[in-house]
Amino acid sequence: MKFAFTLLFFLVQISAGASTDSATLAKELLPFYQELHSHPELSLKEEKTGLLLAKSLEKEGLTVTYPFAGTGLVGVLRNGKGKTVLLRTDLDALPINEQTGLSFASKVKTLSKNGSEVGVMHACGHDIHITNLLGTVRNLVKNKNRWQGTLVVIGQPAEEIGEGAENLLAAGLLKKFPRPDYAIAFHVHSLLPAGKIGYVSGPAMAAADSVTITVKGKGGHGAIPHESIDPVVIASKLVLDIQTLISRERDPLESSVISVGTFQCGTKSNIIPDNCRLELTVRSFTKTERERLLEGIRRKAEAQSLSAGAPKPLVEISKEGTTATVNNPQLVSQLVEVLQKSMGKEAVEPFPPSMASEDFSHYGEQGIPAVMFFLGSINENRMKKLKSQKQLPSLHSPFYYPDAEETLRTGIQAMTAIVEGLLPPNGI
């Protein structure tokens, strides 16, 4: 193998005969996690990450298809007759300059869409997700007497741009491999202490849409505005007017958000530009609310332009959008009981839904009972200190990093318990 991960394969595999409790697995997989963290790859470019996971799963005895749907992978482990459980990890990182100060911090650089240099960082915990999945698989392989059925594991690319799940499904995930009876995923959370598992029954993470609005005007001299149609004024009024979709037109019991992330127009103080460009993120939990917001944004944009006598604006909805993640309530209830029995009631707690988004939603939309759990990632002492300093980082922050060993210890134990609970030996 020609990649930098070659030595890591050897280091990870020589420890494969060790004890299978989650604490030992967490410790022995730390080098694997740190290597992933040091070498992140952006969405649709996860070649080395996917290959590393594929080779590691093959070493555990899984039949692995890699690449699949681009840089994705699918591993299958059959252990007698029974139902099928799908475990998902995401693979991609984010275009962020890491500022954690870790000894194994990412130094990877790439070019952004506008051609400027930017860092690449696992600021959303996907490196923990990958390692946790591998630890769980290793645990299940070493304890095949404790479960019976089929395990399907997927390494999913492009979660951060909302394309990975759809790509896997379009490539025939549910037709070319055993169709899952259940789908499970974990996601780290920066507000949940390490050692804890959080759960949400029903809507857990919001739908997300990216909207670009190009407000058109008529350029001219800034000293002679009456001979122009100023798109800066139109766009400024539009930013405020859009918020009435939340404050005045939304059912107060509904949850949704619209934020304008960019406002770009003009080149010089005394020039009225021809157009302005706005980029928005739109979050919602229901199909009805999602459609209402997107229709409302278009209506508001056209109305502001019409009122100024300007050309009709261009409103574009990105393909990067994804639907809301809705956890199957019956499966949540069943698995919470399993987790509490395995880990203790104090380690498993209800958690509020998040306005962040996840394309794990697409698996549940295929009629598969699906649940995503939140995995605590910052130990309580560090969390208290960071909170007292008002410096607790969120996911996607250049300062975020999990306390990996504690996080993995909990995650491996919890995910193993879930699979064993869903695939009991002899169907008992």
Backbone φ/ψ region at 44: left (φ over 0), alpha (ψ -120 to 50), beta = left
* 185 domain-assigned: yes
Q: What is the pLDDT of residues 138-171, one digit of tens each?
A: 999 999 999 999 999 999 999 999 999 999 999 9
Average pLDDT of every residue of the chain: 94
Q: Does residue 380 sit within a domain?
A: yes
Q: Please say if the pLDDT value at position 399 is more than 80.
A: yes
Q: Tell whether 56 and 173 lie within a shared domain.
A: yes
Answer yes or no: do 228 and 197 share one domain: no
Looking at the fold, whether 302 and 363 belong to one and the same domain comes out as no
How wide is the angle at C-alpha 312 spanned by C-alphas 306 and 318, nearest 5°?
125
pLDDT, residue 20, reads: 59
Span 183-235, pLDDT tens digits: 999 999 999 999 999 999 999 999 999 999 999 999 999 999 999 999 999 99
Q: Is 175 inside a domain boundary?
A: yes
Which CATH number do you get for residue 238?
Answer: 3.30.70.360
What's 91's DSSP letter?
Answer: -
- What's the CA angle centered on 419, arms 333 and 147, to 5 degrees? 125
* 293, 307: one domain: yes
Q: Are 172 and 268 in a shared domain?
A: no
Q: Is residue 1 part of a domain?
A: no
Query: Span 125-132, mean pLDDT?
Result: 98
Domain C-terminal end among 317, 332, 365? 317
Range of the domain at 216: 207-317
Same domain, 188 and 237: no
pLDDT of residue 1: 35
Residue 27 in domain: yes
Residue 184, classed as helix, strand or coil, is strand
Residues 338-360 pLDDT 10s: 999 999 999 999 999 999 999 99
400 and 332 in a single domain? The answer is yes
Give the total number of structural domains in the chain. Answer: 2
| Domain closes at, from 317, 342, 359 | 317
Confidence of residue 321 (pLDDT cuts 50, 70, 90): confident
In a domain, 403, yes or no: yes
User: The CATH number of the domain where 150 resides is what?
Assistant: 3.40.630.10
Task: With respect to residue 250, please indicate whether it lies within any of the assigned structural domains.
Answer: yes
Is pLDDT at 257 greater than 50 in this prediction? yes
pLDDT at position 116: 83
User: 168 and 135 share a domain?
Assistant: yes
DSSP assignment of 221-289, as one string?
ETT-GGGSB-HHHHHHHHHHHHTHHHHTSS-TTS-EEEEEEEEEE-SSTTEE-SEEEEEEEEEESSHHH
Identify the band that residue 115 occupies on the pLDDT scale cut at 50, 70 and 90.
confident
* Same domain as 145, residue 58: yes
Say whether both 185 and 237 belong to one domain.
no
Cβ of 297: how many Cβ atoms within 10 Å? 23
pLDDT of residue 18 exceeding 50, the answer is no
